[in-house]
Structure 1
Amino acid sequence: MPQPLHTSLIRLLFLPACLIAIIGNQDLSAGDAITSVDTGRTITKVRSAHHPDGSRIIASTYDGDVIAVDHQGDVIWTCPLSGVMNHDLWVADLDGDGNDEALAANADGHVYCISDDGQLRWRFKANDAPMYSVCVIRHQGEPVVVCGGFDNQVRYLSPTGELLDTLHSSTYSIAKPWGKDPSKPRPPAKLHVANFLRPVINPDDPANDRLLIHGTMNGMQDRGAFYLFKPFASQPEWLIRSPSPTVVGHVQVIPADDKTPPRILVGTSGHSSNMAVSILTTETDHQQTWQIPRRHPKIDSFGYRVVQPMVIDADASDLVILVGNTLVRISADLDETQSRLYQADYSFHDAWMDHSNGQLILASAQSGGSCIHLIDVSQPGWEQVFQQIAPPGKIQAILDGSKAIREQLTHFRRPAWEREPLPVYLMTESRTGVESTIDQLQASYPSPVFLNGHHTGQAETFDRSSIPSEKYRNRRDRRRKYSLSQQQALDEFIPLFDGHPGIAFWGGHGNDPFMFQPDTMMKVIDAAGGKKTVLIYPELEDHSDEFAAVTEHLIYPLAAHAQTRNANLFLRCKHNFWNGSIYQRAWDRLRSGEFADVFVPAMEETSDKSMEISLASRLGMWTSGAVNQWGARSVPDNTSFDRSRQHSHQRLPNHFLRNMVYNISLGATYINSFAVDQEYMSLLWEMIAKGALYVPKRDEIVSFNPVHLSMVSPDHEFLNEGNNVKWCTFYDADIEATRKMVFSRLNGTWPGAPNTPWDFSTYAAGVKDRRLNFLPPYPNGLVLITPPQDASDAPLPRGKLIEHLHPIYRDAMQEIRTNGRSYLDRNGRPTLAADQHADVVADKIRTAAEQLPLTVDGPVAWVAAESSPTHLRLTIVDGGYLNPDDQVATVRFHRADPVRVTDLLTGQVIDGTDDPTLSVKVPCGLFRLLDVQLKNPL
């Protein structure tokens, strides 16, 4: 990669009040066309603001702080807000003094107004639904703030934050839900969320703008519609359904000129197959859409991106479009023959054109960057410079730190007291470009085991009349061609075993679990000759009674056949499956442990916002004995918690690396990863091979809290809420006032929202929001979510939980039962309300933590496992999944009496074992692999 353009590092001081600080002068020797300003924060949104001292950049950080940066690279002020994300950012002069204020639409339900000197001026909140969009229009020459959120309403506010009027979408919306699945209730018709609010200047009446609303009711599948209002009008004067091929992720208005009426630039949010730009005119129904060529060599064919078109020149004749890491230049009439594409190494969270000084402003790299990049588009060749951006700051720190670990591994030797490593199955790794690395590892080490992962676009055609469920008898996956006979399917799969220790491929999908008939899959397993076969079943989420036909006629027959043939079923489920649907009757045999060696609990976390819960649930299934292995997955749209803003194109998969380090350190041995940068991810493979990562057995882990939640038959509303994540118009203030749930805010209404104080995620996992908590802190030890103990009259094959855990838990475990909504009393009735009983549970967890050898505080994920009677392996991982940083973890010793703590990669001995606490620094985007030597066995 090119050398960094600007490498000065700024670490901001985070204070609980607005911080007014001039960060000292920086040497911005970045050439003529581009300047990279390292803010020390992950910047997700950028805008430009007018100020007498010159144009300023107003930016939002990953955690929702708002900062101001001047074009010399000085961070002028920082204003902390709620601690959760901002969904939208707008700047305008609200008080007529010539300086722009900033407005932030925050996921906590507030609109925050920040003065030009960084002071919080006012805040407005109508309810708890996340605020999603904000702008300023002019009415009778005066500014009016307009905001909208997931309560399906738009509100007009005065410049000082008083409510002026409310516009409910039910009074004008043309939104209409679709689908007939009774297990996923549809929302009412004529409701939408204000996906975007934007002013449209009226050239005939400049004192009175129009308000443009883009409304959507489904964050993943609804293209929505545009509505144009006069200020405070009850009905739109113009509306049109969006011409975009998929969800709208970007809207910008081009003001009218002498020749052209106002135009609306629209960009999509979604898969690369649907990347498009549309242009609408408000005076007519004229519309034009350009589908960005997916197969262009400057655009990789897989990924999830927001398409951001912007006017770049004064006469609005030329557009620039940011699509992840690709920049497109094209004329405003979308003439594809004149388009030019430029590709950088990194994708960026946001872009904004500052026409006051001709600078294109880019937010931080999505891979954990900390810079704002300023590109002077008046300089010739600026597009080529874009292609060479090498972000300094955190990205460079991650690259340097990863390189250092790779060098340290050349000298690493596994401690003599540790047993042989357990095998880790890498099921779907691409070998392109890393063939020699994989060959060398396979020749030198027994683990990891590289299976031959295979993907096919075809499925088997066979007589389905014996499938008892009409629903599944008739279901098909529209992405597949149902063209294979059984023999053709066997001819495709069986040769995959040649030259490999095993294979992994999709046996079915939630859209159609019967992609291949059971007999075909059994014949593939039989042909393995003892080699490993893994059948992957993605997106199993159906919790209707119909799914019993799938378990009885597909899943369990395959499991019985696989039991003695070295085969597994990798259940890559979604939403609240592992703490919800799995506790329905259809899954009794899995939970019993009858097929413990076959089933692999795994997750497809895309569109989800509750990773800390699914982790505890899969681990609970494993530690209970229901299964003897568990799995993990990394894929680009893991980061797509909000499908309307899919900035999910991380080119440096450092978040994958840390997530896998954490999961494997928790005992995950089946890994299903998507290739982004295999050379970078080979660092993980090498750590597994050399034993630098310790893969524990479940009875070696000593960082589980002794308190565990056990799930009984799940509450119906909890199941529906947790599985209905795409519709985003369910919010009802009256219902939410009475719906206090153990696992709450799981439907599509809550992207980025704060967790409730009584939610498991808050008091147990220690996470603050419904976002991307793949690396949860669990400061009192990981709280397992397990099948209930002693709930069956007859002994189950899985045995008892304490039989599978470390001996320290034998007399320490405390079970608390829940149905997902409430807690159960001593008589087994769900009478203990979540909001009233949460403090009791939290106190038990805090007290029980003192029985552990140690706990770890801080913004980190951690695992402790016994590697010998007098040694613990302590893995501590930077917990900033997409916002990595240098972290400080505090290790608190309880039952453990340490003699020495050693970093196994560097050999450094960490001082401080005479104290009950130990401070450990974790580098940005990395982890510490520590050995804790004990005076005495636990």
Structure 2
Amino acid sequence: MKINSLFSFAISFLLSTQLFAFQSKDFSTKTNNIRNSVVGEINHKPILFVSELSESLAAYSLEGKELWNYKIDQPSVIFEIIAEDINNDDNDDLLAVAGNGIVYCIDSNGSLLWQFTPDHKVRLSEIAVVKNGDKIQIFAGGNDYQLYEIDTNGKQVSSTKIAGVVRKIETGVFTDSGKQSLFLMTYSHDKFRWEFMGILDADSKQVLKEVSIKKKELKALTKTMVTDIAIADINNDKKDDILFFADNSFKPFFSALDADFNVLAEYAGNKKQVQRYAHSQGSFLASRNEIMFQHGGVLIVLDTKGKLLNTGGERYGKGVYSDFVYEPKSNQLIGAGTVDGGNNVDFFNLSKDNWYKTTHKKQGRMLAVEQNLTKLYNQILEYKTPSYQKKSNKDFVMITKNGASDKVEKLDGGNVKFVIQKSPKEATDRTYLVNKIGESALKKDKRGKYQDSREQIIQMARDYEAEGQPFTFWAGHGNDPFYIQIETLEQILEVAPNTCYGFVYAEMDNVEDPRVQYFVKEYLPRLAKAIRKKNRAKLYFRYKNMFWAATTHLPLWKDVFLSGKYSDFLVPASEDTSNRTQDLNLAGRIGMKSGGYINDFAMRLIDDNPTSWRPLTPGGQNSVSPYLRQGVMMAAYGARYGIVSTSGFVEEPGLDILFAMMKSGVLPVVENEDILSIGSWHLIKDVDEKLIHTVDNHHNIKQYKKDDENAIFSLAQMHWAGTNIPDNDFSKIALGVKYRWLNYMPEIPNGMVAIAPIESAKELSEKNIPFSISNSKQGFSNNEFVSAKKYASELKKIVEMGAKRLPILVKGAAWSAIKIDENHTRIILMDSGYIEPQERDVTIVFQHRKPKSVQDILSKENLIVSKSQMDVKVPAGSLRFIDVTY
């Protein structure tokens, strides 16, 4: 026995030392982007499990061999994966939980063992496994205030009522008993603090320990946005600790709490590390007794007391990973995926003291995207407008601190006016405002200092006029509509008639706010009068949620945006990058412009985190591809203005590619009558105010209702972010959207369905254009409102009728068709995956008119039409521009 034991030990030692010395080579997966990664073991070898954002799960050897790939049903955000041996075969299986409300258990061989979902609609986002002896308990939670226990056969054991929406469930040894229990953290606010944080007994579900947000020692933690949580025993007391990786006003923050919620370690970053929506991801490195986390481009290494040991990378650096996982057997740290859509797997050798300085070459999907965009840019720079394309006498107007490169400026197929934006905040006394609307007039935005006098602001405008510098001022926000007061605005327009391009307002959606009411009733008429003297300045309104599809139909806003009173200078924009209903806002703005209610709308390209529930978001993207394609989609439906500011993360040439499209004429200024891809319309009658308020109240995530899915604009509240949407939903039926997350560029398989007020019904009827009607929650049929589920078939029929009347129909990509002249149409095709770039197989159908020829205007490739259709490919993360000659 002793000899056998010694022999076994020797073999084990040799194997372990071989593994310890093993250094994997970086590779890319066959999947699309990687959101989650976790290590496990199959046949006693370390394995990397990964998940895409929304569609598949996969297993890879550390050498990069794909072992299996499993496609989930009902695409939605796959929020978390964990590796555990569920069926006791000594191989790790994969558990995954998705926004579609399903828990998946995938066998180590890649087949489905089982799946679980509650008996009602729920968005599940967190999962954990408790193992005590031979007993295995699986726990999942999401937005319906329940903690679900599932057995190893996928059957529900129990559900326990909890307070708040689940932010995190983790397993660990948190008590002296040595047994595993559950760490539970829930939120009621979309970003900060917690509703409940404590330890639960896995059997009884009783609270063993709990900590209040009022605990003095945790004050710093309550003010951070926690973006990652890990469990590890960092103080060697045989009890697990809780590691929080967070964002504090865009600075990195780390805190470690012991099982009694005492602070063990804390690290607060400095101003030099500030990066917008960098979003920290981290891990405990047991072999080095170190803590690492990446905050944007900066990689931070701490000791277990929170002392800074080393940093790598750089501020706004490249290669921002989606996830990190520590692999102990090979002593490697794995960086998996990138937040802009990467499918790369990169290794850090932890046996090296300078491991944090390791650099990795771009590979896989994002290398392909980079190459595709480089090719696109070079082709645009060589493009010459054809004789049949006339140059527009209108400018694209881009509000941005960045102009175009010299290469782009030389292009002459279109005009782009670059306008700077400044944000002075006026310190003028507000007594007269208080007398008009009360003490609320004194509320100010905490994000800025009110230190500019009226005279100083007017002088800024006067100086810009003298310099010939086009400018806008950010003049108000929902936190304070009066950054700049009306008398100052009027004088700015007087002293800068040629260079003032207007004023920006953001998030002033609350119709009950007396400040908003005063702005609408007093400011707008005076601004209209002042602006119309010179007819150049515009008011740019930035709103998110589903403002442009629904909230604008409330009486106060309807009078502003849909009455025609101010159509000449209102420019709707949308903060889509922190919104789960981007598709609705796009359809709403297209309907406003194409319906004649406004003259212009704006693309809003900004580096806000692109999801909706911010702690679960990806961070700032290195690739310009998402911003570029979003901008083109809006311009292709008539957006002539842009409020543009990509982050420091974005690589060159950045939005120069977009500006090149505009300057070259590849992307023309699009007039209403030129759009040939609006199939049908959806009209809003007596909009449902209750539905709107639940969506606009986006910081409150405790709003779950079982019937949220029974609406035309369904599951749009914050707590549904990432979920799949039902068959009765407008976004799914009309726009081809599958889930509430990143839908800037819906595929619109039946053409665009524009959203407009009921007042458009008469004109559409006269033109025999099909339209559907709802109040945003219920459909309107046979002169009465009916449930969304009952209305779904009628909505589908109307949308399909609209598709049949289009001259061109596209399947497989986001698209637009634009009339260049009577015999030429430009089809714009876009990879529709915002941070899921991939090559798209596209079918174009010509329905009523046979083309004479079809050509890719950039590659000059002549395309073949067979039986009134053709198949083309759109490169990953890129676009194609195709001209049809009749």
Question: Normalised by the size of structure 2, how large is the TM-score?
Answer: 0.91
Between the aligned partners of 2:71 and 2:356, the Cα distance in structure 1 is 34
Paired residue type of 2:148 = R
Q: Following the alignment from structure 1 to structure 2, what is the Cα–Cα distance between the partners of residues 68 and 453?
A: 48
Indicate how the Cα distance of structure 1 residues 204 and 509 shifts in structure 2: closer, same or farther if over 3 A, else same: closer
> What is aligned with 1:47?
38
User: For residues 873-910 of structure 1, what are the alpha-carbon distances to aligned partners after superposition, in whole Å with 9 as ceiling and x for unaligned?
Assistant: 11011111101111111111112321111111111110
Cα displacement (A) at 1:450 = 0.6
Alignment partners' CA distance in 1, 2:609 and 2:231: 31
Residue 594 in 1 paired to residue 551 in 2? Answer: no
From 94, 115, 121, the counterpart of 2:86: 94
Q: Deviations over 1:786-819 (max 9, x none)?
A: 122268xxxxxxxx856xxxxxx96331333221
Query: How much does 1:659 deviate?
Result: 0.9
Cα distance in 2 for residues equivalent to 1:635 and 1:549: 29
Q: 1:74 to 1:721 in 2, by over 3 A?
A: same
Post-superposition shift, 1:153? 1.3
In 1: Cα distance, 2:885 partner to 2:744 partner: 29
Aligned residue identity for 2:635: I
Note closer, same or farther for the CA distance 1:257–1:491 as it changes in structure 2 (3 Å cut). Answer: closer
| Kept after mapping to 2: 8 A contact 1:878/1:885 | yes
Q: Which residue of structure 2 lines up, in the alignment, with residue 509 of structure 1?
A: 477
Cα shift at 1:246: 1.9
- Over 3 Å counting, the alpha-carbon distance change for 1:543 and 1:535 in structure 2 is same
Counterpart in the other structure of 2:654: 680
Q: 1:915 to 1:638 in 2, by over 3 A?
A: farther
Paired amino acid for 1:768: K
**Which amino acid in 2 is paired with 1:94?**
I
Which of these residues, 297, 303, 317, is aligned with residue 325 of structure 1?
Answer: 297
Partner of 2:225 in structure 1? 247
Tell me if the contact between 1:32 and 1:379 (Cα under 8 Å) persists in the aligned partners: no
> 2:465 aligned to 497, 512, 517, which one?
497
- Residue 634 of structure 1: aligned partner: 605
SS in 2 for 1:895: coil
Is the aligned partner of 1:217 residue 2:188?
yes
Contact 1:508 1:515 in 2 (8 A): yes
**Is the CA contact 1:462–1:485 (under 8 Å) kept in the aligned structure 2?**
no
> Which of 816, 834, 851 does residue 788 from structure 2 map onto?
834
Gaps of 5+ in 1: 1-30, 170-190, 792-799, 803-808
| 3-state DSSP of counterpart to 2:844 | strand
| CA distance 1:606–1:883, shift in 2 (3 Å) | closer
Structure 1 residue 816 and structure 2 residue 808: aligned?
no
SS at match of 1:898: coil
Aligned-pair distance for 1:426?
4.1
| Residue 530 of structure 2 is aligned to residue 561 of structure 1 | yes
Q: Residues 732 and 431 (structure 1 numbering): CA distance in 2 closer, same or farther, change over 3 Å?
A: closer
CA offset at residue 834 of structure 1?
A: 1.3
Number of aligned pairs?
A: 848
Separation of aligned partners in 1, 2:235 and 2:549:
57
CA deviations over 1:743-774 (Å, ceiling 9, x no partner): 11111220110111111001000110001100
| Equivalence map 1:357-376=2 (5 Å) | 357-376=330-349
Matched, 1:35 2:5: no
Match status 1:155 vs 2:148: yes
Measure, in 2, the Cα distance between the counterparts of 1:302 and 1:441: 33
1:844 to 795, 798, 816: 798
Match in the other structure for 2:129? 136
**2:549 equivalent in structure 1:** 579
Deviation, structure 1 residue 472: 4.5
SS at structure 2 position matched to 1:764: helix
Report the Cα distance in structure 2 between the residues aligned to 1:837 and 1:811, rounded to whole angstroms. 24
Other structure's SS at 1:863 match: strand
Tell me if structure 2 keeps the 8 A contact 1:423–1:449: no
In the aligned structure 1, how far is the partner of 2:430 from the partner of 2:200?
54
For the structure 1 residues 894 and 358, does the alpha-carbon distance in structure 2 shift closer, same or farther, using more than 3 Å as the test?
A: same
Residue number in structure 1 paired with 2:320: 347
Distance 1:845 1:226, change over 3 A: same
8 Å contact kept, 2:86–2:92: yes
Shift, 1:258, TM fit: 4.9
Letter in 2 for 1:349: S
1:713 is displaced (CA, Å) by 2.9
Corresponding position: 1:199 with 2:176:
no
Alignment correspondent of 2:14? none
Q: Is contact 1:666–1:695 with CA below 8 Å preserved after alignment?
A: no
Equivalent position amino acid for 1:42 in 2: N
Instruction: Please provide the CA RMSD for this pair.
Output: 2.4
> What residue is the counterpart of 1:123 in the other structure?
115
The SS at the match of 2:646 is: coil
**Aligned amino acid, residue 132 of structure 1:** S
Residues of 2 paired with 1:848 and 1:411: CA distance? 37
Tell me which residue corresponds to 2:246. Answer: 268
The alpha-carbon distance between structure 1 residues 589 and 306, as it changes in their structure 2 partners (threshold 3 A), is closer
1:542 equivalent in alignment to 2:496 = no
The alpha carbon displacement at 1:375 in A equals 2.4
Instruction: Give the equivalent residue in structure 2 for 1:855.
Output: 809
Amino acid aligned to 1:267: F
Instruction: Give CA deviations for 1:430-478 in whole Å, capped at 9, x if unaligned.
Output: 338x66567x459x67611111222346665443436643374232111
Distance (Å, rounded) in 2 between the aligned partners of 1:850 and 1:311: 57
Counterpart residue number, 2:862: 909
SS of match in other structure, 1:824: strand
What are the Cα deviations for residues 482-541 of structure 1, in whole angstroms up to 9, with x where unaligned? 232211221233323344452122011111111111111111111123334221101222
Deviation at residue 691 of structure 1 after TM alignment: 0.5
Q: Secondary structure at the match of 1:629?
A: coil
Amino acid at match of 2:831: D
Q: Which amino acid aligns with 2:42?
A: H
Report deviation, 1:161: 1.7
Task: Give distance in 2, aligned partners of 1:446 and 1:732.
Answer: 50
- Could you report, residue by residue, the CA deviation over 1:135-163 in whole angstroms, capped at 9, with x for unpaired residues? 11123542211111111111222122222
Pair 282,658 (structure 1): closer, same or farther in 2 beyond 3 Å: same
1:647, distance to aligned residue in structure 2 (A): 1.5
After superposition, give the CA deviation of every residue in 1:69-107 in whole Å (9 maximum; x if it has no partner): 001101110111122221111111123221111111111
Q: In structure 2, what is the equivalent of residue 776 of structure 1?
A: 746
1:867 equivalent in structure 2 = 820
Larger displacement relative to structure 2 (367-376 or 754-763): 367-376
1:898 aligns with 2:872: no
CA distance in 2, matches of 1:394, 1:479: 38
Taking the aligned partners of 1:346 and 1:732, their CA distance within structure 2 comes to 40
Structure 1 length-normalised TM: 0.86
Contact kept in structure 2, 1:278 and 1:289, CA below 8 Å: yes
* Cα pair distance change 1:843/1:489, threshold 3 Å: same
Q: Is the 8 A contact 1:579 1:785 kept in 2?
A: yes
Residues 185 and 197 of structure 2 are in contact (CA less than 8 Å); yes or no, is this contact kept in structure 1?
Answer: yes
Q: Give the share of equivalent positions with the same residue, in percent.
A: 21
Cα deviation for residue 845 of structure 1 reads 1.4
Query: What residue is the counterpart of 2:4 in the other structure?
Result: none
Alignment partner of 1:543: what SS? coil
Q: Tell me, what secondary structure is at the counterpart of 1:76?
A: strand
Do 1:708 and 1:783's aligned partners in 2 also have CA atoms closer than 8 Å?
Answer: yes
**Unpaired runs of at least 5, structure 2:** 1-21
User: How far off is 1:42 after superposition?
Assistant: 0.7
Instruction: Confirm whether residue 281 of structure 1 aligns to residue 258 of structure 2.
Output: yes
Which range moves more in the overlay, 141-150 or 64-73? 141-150
Corresponding position of 1:920: 872
Query: What is the alpha-carbon distance in structure 2 between the residues aligned to residue 522 and residue 826 of structure 1?
Result: 49
Deviation at 1:294?
A: 3.4
Cα deviation 1:116-150 (Å, max 9, x = unaligned): 11111111111321111101112354221111111
Alpha-carbon shift at residue 271 of structure 1 (Å): 4.8
Q: How far off is 1:545 after superposition?
A: 6.3
* 1:252 to partner: Cα distance: 1.0
